[in-house]
Structure 1
């Protein structure tokens, strides 16, 4: 029903996207914001239908999908507000000085859209990280046209969202080429999109293997382009004994829910827990293992993810360097296997394969001999989306060097909480050092993500009336701008 899009159709989609970019890049902030709000309204109008479709395609429960759907609507409307406010444009104006020798020119800088953007839909978020998700919203807000490759795990859901976007475009009087939609179960479709000379940027959420492959393709082009790939992580949780001993039950309940919610299929799932050997950690492992053993297996997103989860889990068990502390293997093929495993600090440091993500309800507890070995484990970690510290404030202060190590390895550091549940707000950072992402300078959640799809552009000595409205002396849009080093909304000369 949804065959792979062939190269002639991909060429046609990119031609339409490029043609539409010619005008859409000069659309006003208000026009772009209006489009995002229109998309939200069109999606909201088909809410029951698209949620039911996604439930049938992904095995995700209705309640979980409803939360994600509402989040998607909020992303669209909140990014619309941020687009209109224009703070993301990073406007800088330095006025001329003819008396200086040599004379200082008039220099004005802002962010401008990069061009057509390809967005790859995510398997585990059929709304928020897919067709009308955050990457698409950010690219449209930046003034870019978008080509979405639907994820093969939920193509009908993606088509409903694409239809809603096209209705919004028609209602706003914008070209249909602003948004294009293609399909592809094979890697070849993604390869053709990334290598296409008219594509100027890529947004991706998914596996490390997929994201790195796209990144390498983009770098191999005659004109390399940026790939903003969010590739997941093990999101380690470090637990110090004072807090853990005082609130073991709290820690167990928090971690059990975080590991198993949505069948563990979150990029922020805590796949690694690091503690110091002692009674507190022993009690924690026993109680958390029992919780996971009592957790009923559930169908995973699709057969491919279930197969990958089971294969990676089986491989790490067969390696003989871990001990199972709690598991439930009563589900059939395609179902999850809630699992808690343990290993020593020595094993973890000696065997890097234990660091790798197992996407699903699996977590590994590393039992360190002491605080020094805990710091060594932290030092050995690769880049992460998040790290978490469970500790009393006094313990955190006492182990400030550990805090600094964790900070260097992630994009978000959580204190006495869990990494799952990514708030959509301006202060959120959903990104991190490689291999969590391909560019740790940017976030995939929050309106600051708009900046991924824009580039700095400078005007020098241009007549005021020929400048973009955002840079004109009078500041008719009332934007925040840095003028001669001072942040202001005032017009120049007022």
Structure 2
């Protein structure tokens, strides 16, 4: 239905984006915010057509999509408010001291937009991480035009969202090229965009293979650019001895819900449960097996994800030393995910890196360590993760300080006695993590701090006040918070 965008067409899109950038970067924070709020209104105006289209393309239920649409609109409006507030600009000023030897210059610094940003739509979130999702909202807030490559699994849904953005752009008198929407079933379109000189940054949510390819292409350029790729993880849950002994049943119920939520198709799905052999662990496993069995399989997002899950699951279960605990035993139709729980020992896990890899779907592996020493060794062996979770009593925490110190080095979000699924859209949220969870652990793809990904610092030295950006003028006309001579203030500079 949708033909791949040709290179000639991509070149036209990129020329327009560059021209739009030189106009849009001069637009006020209020103008950017108004544009983003108008996009949210246009998405709402799509009504039931958007929901029904997404249901047909993704197999996601109506309630999930209605909630995700609301989240997407909230991202746009909350990031708009953050853009207007201006804290993300990190404006700082040191006024001149001319009688110092040597004279101290007037220095003023703030973040400025990078340029055209390419965003790749995610397969598992057709709204919130796709066409009008968080990456697009952050780029608009930062002052950057956006080129979205539609995910081929929900191209029609992506087109509806793109049309909403274009309608909003027209209503807000945005420059031509502020937003473009392109298609590509294979990797060729993505590679061409990643390597093009006009593109200044990339936002991506998806597989490790896809994100790493974009990262490599972008860094092979004559002028390398940042790639902000969120590539998923196994999100280990460390279950400490006293916790499992005292709360095995409630813990099993809590974790079963997280493992099977959305048929495991969240980048924060807990794929590893790491613990130490004990009687309490045996009870926990039986409770978890029962809870897992009570969940009915559902269709996965699309056949590509279902096929990939089946292949990786088969590979994981075929590894020496892995035992199946529970799996959906009913006959299921094609496209549904087998809900699966398996186990192995710590020694096997440490010796087999295949078991460390994400199996995207309703699968989790319990790693049963022989003792405290092996427990710590497993923690040390893990790669970067989006999240890591500690299930522990206060006594457990006091007794395992070394473990905590190692865990916090491998994750972007450290959770205590809660589950990783469910990513709150707020300023304190960090959705990212050390490689291979993401390509830059310093930045988040959720929350208004994500705006900073698409901006860079620019320092102005000895400029007359009238020629400075409003954000840095003495009178502070925007009334934003600034660090002036090492003090945070909204006051004018006299």
Give TM-score, length-normalised by structure 2.
0.99
Aligned counterparts of 1:290 and 1:10: Cα–Cα separation in 2: 53
Q: Give 1:63 deviation, angstroms.
A: 1.0
User: Aligned runs of 1:423-442 on 2, under 5 Å?
Assistant: 423-442=424-443
Q: Give 1:270 deviation, angstroms.
A: 0.1
Aligned counterparts of 2:347 and 2:293: Cα–Cα separation in 1: 26
User: Aligned runs of 1:47-66 on 2, under 5 Å?
Assistant: 47-66=47-66
The residue aligned with 2:338 is 337
The residue aligned with 1:113 is 113
Aligned counterparts of 1:64 and 1:42: Cα–Cα separation in 2: 20
Secondary structure of the structure 2 residue equivalent to 1:177:
coil
8 Å Cα contact 1:294-1:328 kept in structure 2: no
The residue aligned with 1:393 is 394
Aligned counterparts of 2:6 and 2:173: Cα–Cα separation in 1: 29
Whether 1:278 aligns to 2:267 is no
Q: Give 1:176 deviation, angstroms.
A: 3.3
The residue aligned with 2:411 is 410
Aligned counterparts of 1:310 and 1:284: Cα–Cα separation in 2: 26
Cα shift readout 1:220-271 (whole Å, capped 9, x = no counterpart): 0011000000000000000012112211121111111111111100000000
User: Aligned runs of 1:45-84 on 2, under 5 Å?
Assistant: 45-84=45-84
Q: Give 1:175 deviation, angstroms.
A: 1.8
Aligned counterparts of 2:80 and 2:249: Cα–Cα separation in 1: 42
The residue aligned with 1:357 is 358
Q: Which runs of 5+ in 2 are unaligned?
A: none
Q: Give 1:387 deviation, angstroms.
A: 0.2
User: Aligned runs of 1:101-180 on 2, under 5 Å?
Assistant: 101-180=101-180
Q: Give 1:333 deviation, angstroms.
A: 2.3
Secondary structure of the structure 2 residue equivalent to 1:80:
helix
8 Å Cα contact 2:345-2:369 kept in structure 1: yes
User: Aligned runs of 1:37-52 on 2, under 5 Å?
Assistant: 37-52=37-52
The residue aligned with 2:380 is 379
Aligned counterparts of 1:393 and 1:319: Cα–Cα separation in 2: 36
Aligned counterparts of 1:166 and 1:233: Cα–Cα separation in 2: 34
8 Å Cα contact 1:293-1:339 kept in structure 2: no
Secondary structure of the structure 1 residue equivalent to 2:153:
coil
8 Å Cα contact 1:166-1:176 kept in structure 2: no
Q: Give 1:290 deviation, angstroms.
A: 2.5
Q: Give 1:153 deviation, angstroms.
A: 0.7
8 Å Cα contact 1:470-1:479 kept in structure 2: yes
The residue aligned with 2:316 is 316
Aligned counterparts of 2:283 and 2:439: Cα–Cα separation in 1: 38
Please report the RMSD computed on the Cα atoms of aligned residues, expressed in angstroms. Answer: 0.8
Q: Structure 1 stretch 315-324 or stretch 224-233: which is displaced more?
A: 315-324
Secondary structure of the structure 1 residue equivalent to 2:152:
coil
Q: Give 1:472 deviation, angstroms.
A: 0.2
Cα shift readout 1:309-344 (whole Å, capped 9, x = no counterpart): 000111111223210111005323221000000000
Q: Structure 1 stretch 219-228 or stretch 293-302: which is displaced more?
A: 293-302
Q: Structure 1 stretch 241-250 or stretch 403-412: which is displaced more?
A: 241-250
Secondary structure of the structure 2 residue equivalent to 1:153:
helix
The residue aligned with 1:367 is 368
Aligned counterparts of 1:277 and 1:383: Cα–Cα separation in 2: 25
Q: Number of aligned residue pairs: give it.
A: 493
Q: Give 1:288 deviation, angstroms.
A: 1.2
Q: Structure 1 stretch 394-403 or stretch 215-224: which is displaced more?
A: 394-403
Aligned counterparts of 1:321 and 1:226: Cα–Cα separation in 2: 41
8 Å Cα contact 1:286-1:325 kept in structure 2: no
The residue aligned with 1:477 is 478
Aligned counterparts of 1:133 and 1:438: Cα–Cα separation in 2: 19
The residue aligned with 1:260 is 260
8 Å Cα contact 2:110-2:457 kept in structure 1: yes
8 Å Cα contact 1:242-1:391 kept in structure 2: yes
Q: Give 1:295 deviation, angstroms.
A: 2.2
Give TM-score, length-normalised by structure 1.
0.99
The ranges of structure 1 where at least 4 consecutive aligned residues each deviate by more than 3 angstroms after the TM superposition are none
The residue aligned with 2:459 is 458
Aligned counterparts of 2:176 and 2:306: Cα–Cα separation in 1: 37
Secondary structure of the structure 2 residue equivalent to 1:50:
helix
Aligned counterparts of 1:196 and 1:297: Cα–Cα separation in 2: 43
8 Å Cα contact 2:57-2:153 kept in structure 1: yes
Cα shift readout 1:423-473 (whole Å, capped 9, x = no counterpart): 000010001000000000000000000000000001110110000000000
Secondary structure of the structure 2 residue equivalent to 1:174:
coil
8 Å Cα contact 2:253-2:287 kept in structure 1: no
